Amino acid sequence: RPPNTTPTAAMRCFALSLFVAAEGMKLAALRVHPEHHVHVTSSEEAARDAMEEANEAIGAKDWALSHAQKTAPAAKKQPRSPPTPAPPMAPQNWSDFADDGVFDGALPVGAHAVAWFHPPRTSMSFGPLLHRYANASFPPETDSYLKANWEAFFARYRSNTWFQDGFWHHSCDHAAVTDTVYNRFKGHFIGLFREPRSRVFSAWTQMNEKRPISNCATRMNGTVAMQLAGQAPGEMFMMKEGHKFCHGRFLSQPTAKPEPNVALAVERLRDGFKFVGLVEEYDLSVCLFHAKFGGDCFEAEFETSRPGHYYKDSAYEKRMKELAELDDDVDQVLYNVAKERFWADVRAHGVNRSSCEARCPGGKF
CATH number at residue 268: 3.40.50
| pLDDT band, very low/low/confident/very high, at 86 (cuts 50, 70, 90) | very low
Residue 81 inside a domain? The answer is no
Residue finishing a domain among 15, 45, 65:
65
Residue 38's pLDDT is what?
Answer: 43
Q: pLDDT tens across 318-334, in order?
A: 787 888 777 778 999 99
User: Is the same domain home to 155 and 196?
Assistant: yes
| C-alpha dihedral sign at 180, 182, 184, 189 | positive
Residue 87's pLDDT is what?
Answer: 43
pTM listed for this prediction: 0.68
Q: Are 97 and 178 in contact (CB under 8 A)?
A: no
User: Is the same domain home to 51 and 113?
Assistant: no
Q: pLDDT tens across 255-286, in order?
A: 788 999 999 999 999 999 999 999 999 999 99
Which residues form the domain of 147? 94-359
Residue 233's pLDDT is what?
Answer: 87
User: Is the same domain home to 334 and 234?
Assistant: yes
Residue 85 inside a domain? The answer is no
Residue 34's pLDDT is what?
Answer: 47
User: Which of 70-79, 105-114, 252-261, 263-272 is modeled with the greatest confidence?
Assistant: 263-272
How much of the chain exceeds pLDDT 70, in percent? 62
Residue 83 inside a domain? The answer is no
In Å, what is the CA distance from 54 to each residue of 48, 57, 173? 10, 5, 82
Residue 267's pLDDT is what?
Answer: 98
Residue 365 inside a domain? The answer is no
Residue 215 has pLDDT above 80, yes or no: yes
Residue 162 has pLDDT above 80, yes or no: yes
- C-alpha 91/C-alpha 85 separation (Å) is 17
Q: Are 130 and 199 in contact (CB under 8 A)?
A: no
HEC profile of the chain: CCCCCCHHHHHHHHHHHHHHHHHHHHHHHHHHCCCCCCCCCHHHHHHHHHHHHHHHHHHHHHHHHHHHHHHCCCCCCCCCCCCCCCCCCCCCCHHHHHHCCCCHHHCCCCCCCEEEECCCCCCHHHHHHHHHHHCCCCCCCHHHHHHHCHHHHHHHCCHHHHCCCCEECCCCCCCCCCHHHHHHHCCCEEEEECCHHHHHHHHHHHCCCCCCHHHHHHHHCCHHHHHHCCCCCCCCCCCCCCCEECCCCEECCCCCCCCCCHHHHHHHHHHHEEEEEEHHHHHHHHHHHHHHHCCCCCHHHHCCCCCCCCCCCHHHHHHHHHHHCCCCCCHHHHHHHHHHHHHHHHHHCCCCHHHHHHHCCCCCC
- Point out which residues pair with 190 in neighbouring strands: 116, 275
**Better pLDDT: 291 or 161:** 291
- C-alpha 349/C-alpha 240 separation (Å) is 42
Q: Which of 48-57, 189-198, 292-301 has the lowest mean pLDDT?
A: 48-57
Residue 211 inside a domain? The answer is yes
User: Is the same domain home to 175 and 41?
Assistant: no
Q: pLDDT tens across 301-318, in order?
A: 887 655 555 556 667 777
In Å, what is the CA distance from 121 to each residue of 117, 129, 205, 272, 337? 12, 17, 11, 22, 19
User: Is the same domain home to 170 and 302?
Assistant: yes
User: Is the same domain home to 187 and 289?
Assistant: yes
How much of the chain exceeds pLDDT 90, in percent? 29
Half-sphere exposure of residue 10, counting CA atoms within 13 Å on the CB side? 7
Residue 364 inside a domain? The answer is no
Residue finishing a domain among 45, 65, 85:
65
Q: Are 35 and 77 in contact (CB under 8 A)?
A: no
Number of residues in the chain: 365
Q: Are 9 and 1 in contact (CB under 8 A)?
A: yes
Q: What is the mean pLDDT of residues 191-218?
A: 85
User: Is the same domain home to 152 and 249?
Assistant: yes
User: Is the same domain home to 45 and 107?
Assistant: no
User: Is the same domain home to 51 and 133?
Assistant: no
User: Is the same domain home to 162 and 49?
Assistant: no
Using alpha carbons, select from 295, 237, 229, 300 the residue that is nearest to residue 266: 229
**Better pLDDT: 188 or 74:** 188
Residue 105's pLDDT is what?
Answer: 46
Residue finishing a domain among 26, 46, 65:
65
Q: What is the mean pLDDT of residues 14-33?
A: 54
User: Is the same domain home to 53 and 167?
Assistant: no
Residue 235's pLDDT is what?
Answer: 81
Residue 84 inside a domain? The answer is no
Q: What is the mean pLDDT of residues 164-186?
A: 85
User: Is the same domain home to 290 and 183?
Assistant: yes
- C-alpha 66/C-alpha 70 separation (Å) is 6
Residue 82's pLDDT is what?
Answer: 52
Residue 136's pLDDT is what?
Answer: 85
| pLDDT band, very low/low/confident/very high, at 123 (cuts 50, 70, 90) | confident
**Better pLDDT: 355 or 168:** 355
Residue 88's pLDDT is what?
Answer: 41
Q: pLDDT tens across 91-101, in order?
A: 445 566 566 55
Residue 101's pLDDT is what?
Answer: 53
Residue 36's pLDDT is what?
Answer: 46
Residue 74 inside a domain? The answer is no
State the average pLDDT for the chain. 76
> Residue 340 CB: number of other CB atoms within 10 A?
12
In Å, what is the CA distance from 313 to each residue of 127, 206, 324? 30, 17, 17
Q: How many domains does the chain have?
A: 2
Residue 211's pLDDT is what?
Answer: 77
User: Which of 37-41, 118-122, 331-335 is modeled with the greatest confidence?
Assistant: 331-335
